[in-house]
């Protein structure tokens, strides 16, 4: 084993341990803020795994998007919604936890068996490209052109939708909402809510 191979193996093991540990942290922490921070750890570790697979651009993009944007937004949401609410513990909660653990363990076992049984087709012919950026660009503008362009529609729509949901609503036809007055019953379904069943 050469030095590089050894480094790669050790890094893989460390990163794998980090991913699994952090992911367990996300699920098992009771404090949601801890979960959010460990989620950042998961993202970073996955970026490390990408680097080991020679996908440097994807790795940097993973850090930029998932850690820098997604995780920060999650933290923002958690910290801005500062509602201290004491939940009464659900009776026999351990049954739910146990069943969730059993299902997860079963799925894990199944997938492991599958991974071991499968003859994965190795793609030996492919060597690491000189520049992943150029390769990604070529794919984007040849065989993945259509999904790439459709993604722009998706992002545009998501942007418009996010603004629609987040903006402070002024009633159509008026430039400003009147502050302090009873708002008109807008943006609600015209159907009356059902009377609660007695």
When the beta carbons of 94 and 106 are compared against another protein, the nearer one is 106
Q: Is 39 helix (H, G, I), strand (E, B) or coil?
A: helix
CB atoms within 10 A of CB 36: 19
| Distance (Å, whole) CA 154 – CA 38 | 29
Least spacing, CB of residue 122 vs another protein, in Å: 8
When the beta carbons of 94 and 135 are compared against another protein, the nearer one is 135
When the beta carbons of 94 and 144 are compared against another protein, the nearer one is 144
Is 48 within 8 Å of 16 (Cβ atoms)?
A: no
Least spacing, CB of residue 88 vs another protein, in Å: 21
> CA separation (Å) from 179 to 5, 10, 33, 176?
66, 62, 35, 9
| Distance (Å, whole) CA 140 – CA 61 | 15
Least spacing, CB of residue 19 vs another protein, in Å: 16
Contacts with another protein by CB under 8 A lie at 2-3, 33, 37, 40, 44, 56-57, 60-61, 63-64, 67-69, 71-72, 75-76, 79-80, 110-111, 113-114, 117-123, 130-133, 141-147, 150-151, 153-154, 156-158, 160-161, 164-165, 169, 171-173, 184, 186-194
Chain centre to alpha carbon of residue 138: 27
Buried b (16+ CB within 10 A) or exposed e, 152-190: eeeeeeeeeeeeeeeeeeeeeeeeeeeeeeeeeeeeeee
When the beta carbons of 12 and 74 are compared against another protein, the nearer one is 74
When the beta carbons of 94 and 172 are compared against another protein, the nearer one is 172
Is 26 within 8 Å of 34 (Cβ atoms)?
A: no
When the beta carbons of 85 and 195 are compared against another protein, the nearer one is 195
Is 15 within 8 Å of 50 (Cβ atoms)?
A: no
């Amino acid at each position: 084993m050469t030095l590089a191979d050894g480094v790669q193996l050790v890094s893989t093991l460390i990163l794998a341990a980090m991913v699994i540990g952090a992911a367990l942290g996300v699920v098992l922490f009771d404090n949601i803020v801890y979960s959010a921070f460990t989620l950042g750890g998961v993202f970073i570790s996955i970026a490390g795994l990408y680097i080991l697979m020679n996908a440097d651009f994807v790795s940097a993009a993973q850090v930029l998007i998932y850690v820098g944007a997604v995780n920060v937004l999650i933290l923002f949401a958690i910290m801005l919604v500062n509602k201290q609410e004491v939940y009464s513990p659900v009776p026999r909660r351990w049954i739910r936890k146990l069943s969730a653990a059993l299902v997860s363990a079963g799925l894990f076992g199944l997938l492991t068996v599958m991974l071991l049984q499968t003859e994965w087709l190795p793609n030996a012919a492919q060597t690491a490209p000189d520049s992943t950026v150029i390769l990604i660009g070529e794919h984007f503008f040849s065989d993945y052109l259509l999904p790439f362009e459709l993604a722009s529609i998706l992002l545009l729509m998501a942007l418009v939708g996010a603004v629609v949901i987040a903006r402070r609503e002024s009633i159509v036809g008026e430039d400003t909402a009147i502050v302090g007055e009873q708002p008109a019953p807008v943006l609600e379904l015209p159907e009356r809510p059902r009377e609660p069943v007695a």
